Amino acid sequence: MLKQRYLDCRRITFALLATSASGLPAAPSNSKDYQSLYRVLEACRLFHMNSKTVIETHARIIKFGYGNYPTLIASLVSTYQRVGCLNRVHQLLDILCSKQLDLVAMNLLIGNFMKIGECKFAKKVFYKMPFRDVVTWNSIIGGCVKNARYDEAFRFFRQMLTSNIQPDGFTFASILNACAQLGAPSNTHWVHAQMTQKKIELNSLLTCALIDAYSKCGSIQIAKEIFSNIPHSDTSVWNVMIKGLAIHGLAMDALSLFLRMEHESVLPDAITFLGVLTACNHGCLIDHGRRYFELMKSHYSIQPQLEHYGVMVDLYSRAGFLEEAYSLIVTMPIEPDVVTWRTLLSGCRIYKNHKLAEVAIANMSQRKSGDYVLLSNIYCSLNRWKEAETVRKMMKINRVRKKRGKSWIELGGTIQHFKSGDRLHPESDAIEKVLCSLMKRTRTEGYMPVTELVFMDISEEEKEENLSFHSEKMALAYAILKTSPGAKISISKNLRICDDCHTWIKLVSRVLCRVIVVRDRIRFHQFEGGMCSCGDRW
């Protein structure tokens, strides 16, 4: 598909460049020329075509009269940067900023740079602007959020608060999204307070953003209170609350809310059922999951999408019904994607089914590091080191690297970041001492490292050391070091929590009499008294 796209773009490129200069119109005559030029630049950017092609395309953009069109100019600057013409990048930006384009054009330029991921160019335009309006600030803040630059989004938001421009509902919707992604409760409380202070009226968009932010930063009770105090006519508000309950493992609460939704005659949609099925998945409610999956088709005439099938495959896989999960995949009316097969592969790791795991990985067109790791873990757990080594060689051949675990924790208004195996934190010595002490205490409570998860055929001692420095363990040790006894601890993580860390944190919660909350990539885990809210199914 990419190859065909490349050939199509090359054909358009040469067709345009072959056009006679005398035949070019002085001003744009139709949108086809505009679309063709944009596709040429896209091809140049994606396939790193030579700078000559980009320069000639730039000339045609000017000839066609599109020299000041923000979408094309943003793409052109990005393309020059990709092909290494940095001098032209700076020249073009300087010329644009010196032209003093009108405010609308400058705002569009920022938006288009953010759209294609060129944040540094968007910021350069932003800082060159003689004056800004609320759209300018929304473009830069929203763009940072869309490009996962959450800390930068907060910096711009704070700058906006000190400017003469007041934030509006769109500003707060973006910054609440950043709060949700960071999972830092103090950020969400502060932004909510700013909304109240500035008397921002809650609409369905802002209500959803607020409930989502509180849910994802672990404050599900506050999310429920907000939901209870607002009108419930909009389906999207019900959806975000059901989803929030689902990721916290409150499956029955989510299903009760769905029944209440039906009772109040609010029509559910495909997203509603995705939340309901996710709740069934996290609660391991297999029969409920089957019933709601059929209900959406038979009663509401909603055709399941790929995401719905994916949740059902996950539900079956995690419950050990691997053959049923596989049967659902092969009978789907939609072509299963790599995520669907990866879900089955994850279940195969739990139940050590290497044969079905090999089928799953064989059907993956684009494998990621986690897929190889899952397959290798299955082989390692069965002590099949030869096959595990073959997987490692495949990773080397395909230049695939294992994705590194990262965790972060908010303390005292700042966010501390930790990477697995990284001992570069300023207080790493103190963290290591706390970890060693906790390891000794948990061992007396029966903790045994799950060494089969380590992706190497090395000594047990080396495996245990490898597991000891997982990012969530270091984050937890740091939190224990910095907080008072009995204080609740909240940690966020970029990947799913592993079996070893899950087992270990359960014991730590019992030994220290602490409530420890870990938000991983999929859901929340609340550890208390040696138990986890997920019921050891995640």
Cα–Cα distance between 227 and 207 in angstroms, integer?
8
Token pair belonging to 33: 């020329």
Asked whether residue 269 carries a pLDDT value surpassing 60, the answer given is: yes
Tell me: the pLDDT tens digits for 348-406?
888 888 889 888 878 876 666 667 777 777 777 667 777 777 877 777 777 766 678 89
Longest dimension (CA), the chain: 86
Calpha distance 253→264 (Å, rounded): 16
Q: What's this model's pTM, rounded to 2 decimal places?
A: 0.80
Torsion (CA) 63, 64, 65, 66 in degrees, nearest 10 = -110
What is the C-alpha separation between 207 and 213, in angstroms, rounded?
A: 10
Average pLDDT over the chain, rounded to an integer: 85
Query: For residue range 279-322, what is the model confidence (pLDDT) as tens digits?
Result: 999 999 999 999 999 999 999 999 999 999 999 999 999 999 99
Q: Which residue has the higher pLDDT, 461 or 416?
A: 416
Q: Looking at this protein, which amino acid is placed at residue 37?
A: L
Beta-strand relationship, 524-528 and 516-519: antiparallel
Q: Is the pLDDT of residue 423 over 70?
A: yes
What token pair was written down for 64?
């066609």
User: In whole angstroms, what is the distance from residue 407 CA to residue 264 CA?
Assistant: 41
- Type of residue numbered 100: Q
The b/e string for 197-217 (b: 16+ C-beta within 10 A; e otherwise) is eeebebeebbbbbbbbbbbbb
Q: Which pairs with CB-CB distance under 8 Å and at least 24 residues apart come from 344-348?
A: 344/313, 344/317, 345/371, 345/374, 345/375, 346/314, 346/317, 346/318, 346/374, 347/314, 347/316, 347/317, 347/318, 347/320, 347/322, 348/317, 348/322, 348/374, 348/378
| Of residues 121, 137, 124, the one with CA closest to residue 169 | 137
CB 257 within 8 A of CB 227: no
